[in-house]
Amino acid sequence: MPSLDTARIDIERFWSTIERSAEIGPGRPGGLSRLALSDADKDIRDTFVGWCREAGLTVRVDGIGNIFARRAGTDDSLPPVVMGSHLDTQINGGRFDGIAGVLGGLEVCRTLDALGHRTRRPIEIVNWTNEEGARFSPPMVGSGCFVGAYTLDFAQGRTDEEGRTIGQELERIGYRGEMEAAPHAFDAYIEFHIEQGYYLDRDGMQVGVVTGGFPSTGMLVEFKGETAHTGPWPMERRRNALLAGARLLVETDEIGWAYAAGGGKATAARLAAWPNKPGILSDWAQAVCDVRHPDPETSEVMAERVRRAVGESAARAGCTAEILDIWKWGGSIFAQELIDSVRQTSLALGYRTQDILSQAGHDAYFVARHAPTTMIFAPCKGGITHNNAELCTKGDLEPGLNVLLHTVMARADR
């Protein structure tokens, strides 16, 4: 039996698994368009479950479609050490975002099998449902439901643009599971993910030790106005909801620029209007925007400025506005003991390592409410993601996967 200390994941085996996944739900060249609960999502879920069963894992599915694959421990009564992420993608997504975390968990289990090593605590891999939010809003609905941030009824009732619900689509693809969508105990949750930023790649770093997330605020805003003819209707009587939404998006962008030097970002993400046609003013619009900043207080100031911009944008367009939803994420949410463990493991393995904040949202943010949690980042070329040009090499992913292996092994054996 090889020594546990010198154990390494098999990057070729992992890579062939990634490549098989990349055949399921192809999008633009090189990328994936594997929307949550689509036929392609069913296909990758079936494939993943097959791989897990081949690896001797016990598969369970909960009421929101989260898949848990369990490798028994020598003391199977203890809570599991959990790895995972998501197999769904954006509509113009890449082949690594999320996927590397789920299939990385599988690779860890396969490596332990090859080592002939059974850990003291059980190990689980999880695939969370609808992380991306590209088909159903909100994103991270599977992990949010798991930790109780959303009720199962609410989560199952979310609809896509054609009006189909998550519950119906889970039923259709056979992933509305029996297991209660409520948290079973985790000893720890460790999510491996590509950085989705360019710092590690730019700085030649191999492993990102994720110490927390950018404090962030998102808003869903509704504007109401009045339809009228675009020709004769005087400027001062217009109540064009589309214009109110456009004003909010522009103001949000300005707020982003005002804080860009300190790492702040603000995004004009979505604008829908009705009727949204030439010849008629729109009486309804809905906008989604968000702000992020590494400093919590500055992030809060940015959010407050967006909130004010909501009212101002509406007023300047003669409309009313309502903030339908505000969601906050990020901050110092991860467990220090796990952060330290990832850093020490990475240094012990001789990797170039950097502390880093996550700028994107992740399922780990929700799971952190439930159990000690952290993340491990791998570099991706130029930080390009949510784009078919998203690219990682074997060399980009191998170090982080080895850190995942040893961090999980140490945790599960203690």
Binding site for a second copy (CB under 8 A): 90-92, 132-134, 137, 139, 195-198, 214, 216, 218, 226-236, 240, 242-243, 245-247, 249-250, 253, 256-257, 260, 264-273, 275-281, 283, 288, 290, 292, 317, 358-361, 383-387
What's the closest the beta carbon of residue 201 comes to a second copy, in angstroms? Answer: 11
| Cβ partners under 8 Å of residue 300, min gap 6 | 215, 217
Give the integer Cα–Cα distance in Å for 323 and 96.
34
Closest approach of a second copy to the CB of residue 185, in Å: 30
Least distance (Å) between residue 137 CB and a second copy: 7
CB of 277 to a second copy, least distance (A): 6
Q: Which is nearer to a second copy, 111 or 240 (CB)?
A: 240
Closest contact distance (angstroms) between CB of 269 and a second copy is 5
Cα Rg of the chain (Å, integer) = 22
Closest separation between CB of residue 172 and a second copy, Å? Answer: 22
Q: What is the DSSP letter of 117?
A: -
DSSP secondary structure, 259-285, as one string? TGGGT-EEEEEEEEEES-BTTB--SEE
Parallel, antiparallel, or unpaired: how do β-strands 207-224 and 284-292 relate?
antiparallel
Comparison of 22 and 243: residue with beta carbon closer to a second copy: 243
Q: For the CB of residue 259, give the shortest distance to a second copy in the complex, in Å.
A: 9
- Residue 359 corresponds to which amino acid? Q
Q: Which long-range contacts (CB under 8 A, 24 or more apart) does 19-28 make?
A: 20/47, 21/47, 21/87, 21/95, 21/99, 21/103, 22/95, 25/89, 27/89, 27/91, 27/92, 27/93, 27/388, 28/92, 28/388
Beta carbon nearer to a second copy, 24 or 273: 273
DSSP secondary structure code for residue 152 in this structure: H
Dihedral pair phi/psi, residue 224, rounded to 5°: -125, 135
Q: Name the minimum Å distance from CB 195 to a second copy.
A: 7
In the complex, minimum distance from the CB of residue 109 to a second copy, in angstroms, rounded to a whole number? 29
Q: Which is nearer to a second copy, 137 or 320 (CB)?
A: 137
Angle, helices 11-21 vs 394-413, to 10°: value is: 110
Question: Measured from the CB atom, is 319 or 408 closer to a second copy?
Answer: 319
- Report phi then psi at 378, rounded to 5: -110, 150
CA dist., res. 371 & res. 187, Å (int): 7
Query: What is the rounded CA–CA span in Å between residue 192 and residue 210?
Result: 10
SS3 376: strand
DSSP line for 191-218: EEEE-SSSHHHHTT-SEEEEEEEEEEEE
- Rounded to a whole number of angstroms, the minimum distance from the CB of residue 319 to a second copy is 12
Q: Count Cβ atoms within 10 A of the Cβ of residue 299 and give its class: 0-12 exposed, 13-18 middle, 19 or more buried.
A: buried
